[in-house]
Amino acid sequence: MSFQENFLWGGAIAANQAEGAWNEDGRGPAKTDVTTGGSVKKPRYVTFIDKDGKPGKVINGQPIPEGAKYAVLDDYYYPNHDGVDFYHHYKEDIALLAEMGFKMFRLSISWSRLYPHGDEDQPNPKGVEFYRSVFLECKKHGIEPLVTIWHFDTPLYLEEHYGGWNNRQLIDFYVRFATTCFKEYQGLVKYWLTFNEINNTIMMLNLFGNHAGDKEHQQGYQQLHYQFVASAKAVQIGHEIDPNNMIGCMICGITFYPGTCDPQDIMANRHMWEKSIFYCGDVQCKGKYPTFAKRLWNEHHVQLDITEQDLEDLRNGCVDMYTFSYYMSSIETTHETDDMVSGNFAAGARNPYLTYSDWGWAQDPLGLRYYLEMIYDRYEKPLMVVENGLGAYDTLEEDGSIHDDYRIDYLRDHIKEMGKAIDNGVNLIGYTTWGCIDLVSAGTGEMRKRYGFIYVDKDDQGHGTYNRYRKDSFYWYKKVIESHGEDL
């Protein structure tokens, strides 16, 4: 048997994509609350009012004009405002997860629900209470929560008034927020992740057809440094508050392959791993910047604000485990090619040996095994795959069933490869599939890009009953968990 009896089988969601209730019980707005819906062809927009009072929008990720203020505008639909209303459905949802036999449920805490602006001294009691109720509900069902402290949702107020993660002060605000989480939920939560997909900031600069310049690199590396320090301080405080806490990093895991056997491609591919994957993992697992960091900074004339105290904090704040998301592999080549993929967050040379999802993501189960073995060898810390799954169009039948055999196939193939990695000596302790309950896509803001075992009746315009339905994959995953990964 590959998977131990105590293997942490489960699923994952994030606050801003699932909860809804964006302005209830004192919650402050986050960036996703001024972000519209999109699709595989149409980007998500961020809306604002400019300094002359005129409404406008920019593509998500671009800065809003000087003097403008983020704003919710009448003519747009903001899918994250309602999410899938987990805020009011959590009891029903957690009961469904328990029915599947979940051992672990990964969710995130909305920063602006606890600290509406982000710079307050005291948290919002209603926010604190909400998550306590959620964790008590998990406990009732014997489900271990895995809590992401930051899942892309910095309070909008901190973005507007402090410049977000460009500002060193964010470290203190984050540490205050994290400390509140550790204190309030001590005894209810043991597994924590400090920053979701922390490597995205740098990885996205060069990946998927992006060619960012020195300015973007300067900003990206500096933001990351502040997040590394914030993470390291949180790890130290989390351990002081409760030595039982297991605190992990969370990396967006993509397996990179060289496009050809040209040594130029082999080298370019190695450098892609360094910049996109190892850079963050090394700092968070080893407590210091890797040897190649200087080369990466010099390539873009980056000058960082790093203090001696920061370096000490990094040394003392190594994570206990390495966790990552895994959806796809990608090709790195120095050669021209006509055979290109296009999708959301997916572009570049097409791999002729793989099939692609409707959003252009390469389906590559063996790539997951490769990643697991490579990373375990590098850090020898417990690993968890905390996101994996297939975003796909589902059809709700008249009788309330959903036949998602494509999703079962995808997950089965990935679980098989995880089993082989375990047999090869990898200490993999958990697996939480992405979007176990359907939720709003982070990339496109769509509802119809679904990942769940549980279908939620809501469409891209926000219409629907929000009723929950069990998909075929629901019954399949229950069997997988029951049989400890044997009955696939």
Q: Which residues are catalytic?
A: 197, 387
**Tokens at 384, concatenated:** 């968890």
Q: How far is the CB of 411 from ligand P53 (least distance, A)?
A: 15
Tally the C-alpha atoms within 13 A of residue 319's C-alpha that lie toward its C-beta. Answer: 29
Q: How far is the CB of 448 from ligand P53 (least distance, A)?
A: 11
Q: How far is the CB of 193 from ligand P53 (least distance, A)?
A: 10
Q: Exactly one of 90, 434, 453, 476 binds ligand P53 (CB under 6 A); which one?
A: 434
Q: Which of 145, 228, 215, 222 is nearest to 185 (CA)?
A: 145
User: Can you give 54-119 as a three-state secondary structure string?
Assistant: CEEEEECCCCCCCCCEECCCCCCCCHHHCCCCHHHHHHHHHHHHHHCCCCEEEEECCHHHHCCCCC
Amino acid present at 460: D
Q: Exactly one of 391, 430, 452, 485 binds ligand P53 (CB under 6 A); which one?
A: 391
**What whole-number distance in Å separates Cα of residue 350 and Cα of residue 368?**
18
**What whole-number distance in Å separates Cα of residue 108 and Cα of residue 111?**
9
Query: Nearest residue by C-beta to ligand P53?
Result: 443
Cα separation of the two ends of the chain? 13
Give 123 or 391: the residue with its C-beta nearer to ligand P53. Answer: 391
Site string for ligand P53, 313-332 (x = CB under 6 A): ------------x-x-----
Q: How far is the CB of 437 from ligand P53 (least distance, A)?
A: 12
Q: How far is the CB of 454 from ligand P53 (least distance, A)?
A: 16
Cα–Cα distances (Å) from 295 to 47, 292, 300, in that order, read 38, 5, 9
Q: How many CB atoms lie within 10 A of CB 343?
A: 19
Site string for ligand P53, 177-216 (x = CB under 6 A): -------------------xx--x----------------
Q: How many residues bind ligand P53 (CB under 6 A)?
A: 17
Give 14 or 429: the residue with its C-beta nearer to ligand P53. Answer: 14
Sequence-separated (6 or more) residues with CB below 8 Å from residue 104: 8, 9, 10, 143, 144, 145, 146, 191, 430, 432
Cα–Cα distances (Å) from 244 to 136, 231, 317, 483, in that order, read 18, 17, 15, 29
Q: Exactly one of 233, 275, 449, 450 binds ligand P53 (CB under 6 A); which one?
A: 449
Q: Exactly one of 171, 442, 447, 480 binds ligand P53 (CB under 6 A); which one?
A: 442
Give 124 or 154: the residue with its C-beta nearer to ligand P53. Answer: 154
Q: How far is the CB of 387 from ligand P53 (least distance, A)?
A: 6
Q: How far is the CB of 105 from ligand P53 (least distance, A)?
A: 15
Contact region with ligand P53 (CB under 6 A), list: 171-179, 312-320, 434-442, 461-469: 434-442
Q: Exactly one of 134, 232, 234, 252 binds ligand P53 (CB under 6 A); which one?
A: 252
Q: How far is the CB of 294 from ligand P53 (least distance, A)?
A: 27
Give 4 or 342: the residue with its C-beta nearer to ligand P53. Answer: 342
Give 200 or 276: the residue with its C-beta nearer to ligand P53. Answer: 200
φ, ψ of residue 92 to 5 degrees: the values are: -65, -45
Residue pair 156/33 in contact (Cβ under 8 Å)? The answer is yes
Give 400 or 462: the residue with its C-beta nearer to ligand P53. Answer: 462
Q: Exactly one of 367, 443, 452, 485 binds ligand P53 (CB under 6 A); which one?
A: 443
Q: How far is the CB of 431 from ligand P53 (least distance, A)?
A: 15
**What whole-number distance in Å separates Cα of residue 332 and Cα of residue 298?**
21
Give 196 or 245: the residue with its C-beta nearer to ligand P53. Answer: 196
Contact region with ligand P53 (CB under 6 A), list: 36-44, 183-191, 286-294, 439-447: 439-447
Give 276 or 441: the residue with its C-beta nearer to ligand P53. Answer: 441
φ, ψ of residue 478 to 5 degrees: the values are: -55, -45
- Hey, which residues between 345 and 374 contact ligand P53 (CB under 6 A)? 345
Tokens 């080893």 correspond to 286
**What whole-number distance in Å separates Cα of residue 74 and Cα of residue 468?**
29
**441 lies in the site for ligand P53, by CB under 6 A:** yes
Does residue 299 sit in helix, strand or coil? helix
- Hey, which residues between 99 and 158 contact ligand P53 (CB under 6 A)? none
**Tokens at 158, concatenated:** 């901190």
**Tokens at 364, concatenated:** 């590559």
Under the rule (CB under 6 A), what is the footprint of ligand P53?
14, 17, 196-197, 200, 252, 325, 327, 345, 387, 391, 434, 441-444, 449
